[in-house]
Amino acid sequence: MERSPYTGLEPAELWRHFAALNAIPRPSGQEGAASEYVREIAEAAGAHWLADRRGNTLVRIPGRAGADAHETVAVQAHLDMVCESAPGVEQDFAHDPIAVRRDGDRIYAQGTTLGADNGIGVAAALALLTEPGGAHGPLELVFTVEEEIGLQGALHFDASLLRARSLINLDSEDDTALTVGSAGGSEILLRLPLALDRLPAGWAVAELRVSGLTGGHSGVQIHEHRANAIKLLVDVLDKLQRAGVQPRLASFEGGSAHNAIPRAGTVHLAIREDAQALAARVVADGVRELELEWGADEPGLSIQFEVMATPLRVAADDGTSSRLVTLLRDLPHGVIAMSSRFPGTVETSANLALVRTSTKQVEVLTSMRSSTLEELSGIESRVSALAAMAAASIETRGSYPAWPPREGSSLVACTVGAYRRVYGNEPRVEVVHGGLECGVLVANKPDLDAVSFGPLIKDAHTPGEHVYASTVTTTWQLLVTLLAELAANPATAGASVAPVL
């Protein structure tokens, strides 16, 4: 019998729930079975639960060890996961379970995202229901949906249902830090009308393809030297235009999710037969330049260009093709500004996330983040202006608020103390550039004091995602230690103490 990758890992209840979740498909918007699992566990434990129309679930647990009358504490995680597969891996995320493998201390999936983001947090919250012992006051476990597509579950959750004034979010990915704030964000969907004209004789079809990039989380890795497949494709197309080749685009497909740095993309284009030799030289020179720039940080980079035997019957006209290339070239991607208050932290960024082509239009999705509303509005205005120049329409959507750090947070002070006792050293107290649901929940319930922590998860939102099992154990110890100390010192909940920032 094949050995389970979770054999010997602690706490056993947490890993049992994580294994169960990874047997349940849970892409964003399809979390119904995962929500049902949460409710079954709650009912088996005798806990009361509530569910809203969006699919969010709130589970209430009475206090343990005589702490029933203490302040209620909320513990929150999201049920959905980013669904990404490595090249050549066939995975139907709507139906197939996640196949898991173990490499020493690291837990991976087999060629796909693992779902540790945020399945480990969900499993930890469920273990509070089923792990025997452990003192805590009354708890509210909040399981949200559709976090990975713009925090939609949290945005639709009625935060007034919460009795708690302290919130522990379990969606962080660095066990050396406590998170006390996060960026806000929004998305703009641009639509460029596309009229595909029948090509006359004398044109050939070519395919330009970029693959093998590292990708990553657009909030966590946006400051790292990671290539964007859309931008690489556009760099080559722009060189073709400047050389006088004037390619006519038939399709452009790139990226996979609003919060993932694009790892791959493909363009089909028409080139005059008498310009094929020039196009080949321009592409070869462009590929060499890109490989020199990115080769060290993107060892898997592959850029392929080939003239295909299949005839291309339709393509966009020169004007539309040129406007699309110019728009994609000029749309911002990467770090816009760094934080002056938190050195080394990104304050404002943009992720050119998706390009999709239909018979009538090209859709381009760009995702923006910032810790300040003014900076976020500024980048939105810049994108809107570029859209107008390209004659593209825009739709702003998926906006969510920033989570500003709370000076004098008693919850953070208590968490720092619990961290010292568990780890024997000081945590970093930081603001992150990724969006966290704390921002939404605090905005909708201003008396809510929040902190976020979690185990060490690397390469989230990519097929290389993995979690370090030993850090799951210590993060669990931090959680139960903190809950016990909050129950032992109820006066700290909601109180104000000396600033810790």
Task: Find the mean pLDDT for residues 444-469.
Answer: 96
3-state secondary structure of 415: helix
**What pLDDT, on a 0 to 100 scale, did the predictor assign at position 76?**
98
Residue with tokens 């639709």: 156
What pLDDT was estimated at residue 496?
Answer: 38
Looking at the structure, give the CATH architecture of the domain made up of residues 12-183+403-492. 3-Layer(aba) Sandwich (3.40)
- Whole-number pLDDT of residue 500: 39
For the chain, give every domain's residue range: 12-183+403-492, 186-400
3-state secondary structure of 231: helix
Q: What is the pLDDT of residue 198?
A: 87
Catalytic residue among 84, 140, 147, 171: 147
Q: Which residues touch 319 (CB under 8 Å, ≥6 apart)?
A: none
Q: Which is nearest to 114 in space by CA: 474, 352, 455, 478? A: 455
Average pLDDT, rounded, for the chain: 93
Q: 292 forms bridges with which residues in the sheet? A: none
Q: Residue 501 pLDDT > 90, yes or no? A: no
Q: What is the mean pLDDT of residues 475-494?
A: 84
Instruction: Look at 104-108, 146-150, 198-202, 245-249 and tell me which has the smallest mean pLDDT.
Output: 198-202
Strand partners, 141: 59, 75
CA angle centred on 181, ends 370 and 157, rounded to 5°: 90
Q: What's the predicted TM-score (pTM) here?
A: 0.82
User: Could you report the per-residue pLDDT of 181-233, keeping only the tens digit for each?
Assistant: 999 999 999 999 998 888 888 888 899 999 999 998 898 899 999 999 999 99
Helix (H, G, I), strand (E, B) or coil at 435: coil
Q: Per-residue pLDDT tens for 248-288?
A: 999 999 998 888 899 999 999 999 989 999 999 999 999 99
Q: What is the mean pLDDT of residues 311-332?
A: 91
End-to-end CA distance of the chain: 52
Question: Stretch 57-79: mean pLDDT, rounded?
Answer: 89
Q: Residue 492: what pLDDT?
A: 53
| Domains 12-183+403-492 and 186-400 agree in fold | no
Our answer to whether residue 147 is catalytic in this structure is: yes
Alpha-carbon gap, residue 267 to 250, rounded angstroms = 8
pLDDT tens profile 341-384: 888 889 999 999 999 999 899 999 999 999 988 999 999 999 99
- Taking the C-alpha atoms of residue 435 and residue 182, their distance in angstroms, rounded to an integer, is 6
The residue annotated as part of the active site, out of 13, 80, 146, 430, is: 80
pLDDT per residue as tens digits for the range 18-38:
999 999 999 999 999 999 999
Mean pLDDT of 149-173: 95
| Cα-to-chain-centroid distance, residue 436 | 10
Rounded CA separation 334/22 (Å): 32
**Token pair of 49, please?**
């639960």
Total residues belonging to the chain = 501
pLDDT at 158: 95
Say how many C-beta atoms besides its own lie within 10 A of residue 23's C-beta: 14
Q: State phi, psi for 279 to the nearest 5 degrees.
A: -60, -40
What band does 497 get if pLDDT is binned at 50, 70 and 90?
very low
Name the strand (E) or helix (H) holding 109: strand 106-109
Q: What is the mean pLDDT of residues 159-166?
A: 95
Query: Residue 69 above 80 pLDDT?
Result: no
In the prediction, which pLDDT does 311 show?
A: 67
Distance CA 457, CA 462 (A): 11
* Range 123-148 average pLDDT: 94
Cα of 255 vs its chain's centroid, Å: 13
Pairing relationship of beta strands 302-307 and 314-316 according to DSSP bridges: unpaired
* Per-residue model confidence (pLDDT) at position 133: 79
Average pLDDT value for residue range 166-175: 97
- Assign 308 a pLDDT band (cuts: 50, 70, 90): confident
Q: Which CATH number fits domain 186-400: 1.10.300.10, 3.30.70.360, 3.40.50.2300, 3.20.20.30?
A: 3.30.70.360
Which residues partner with 76 through β-bridges?
142, 169
**Parallel, antiparallel, or unpaired for β 139-144 and 428-432?**
unpaired
Percent of the chain having pLDDT more than 70? Answer: 96
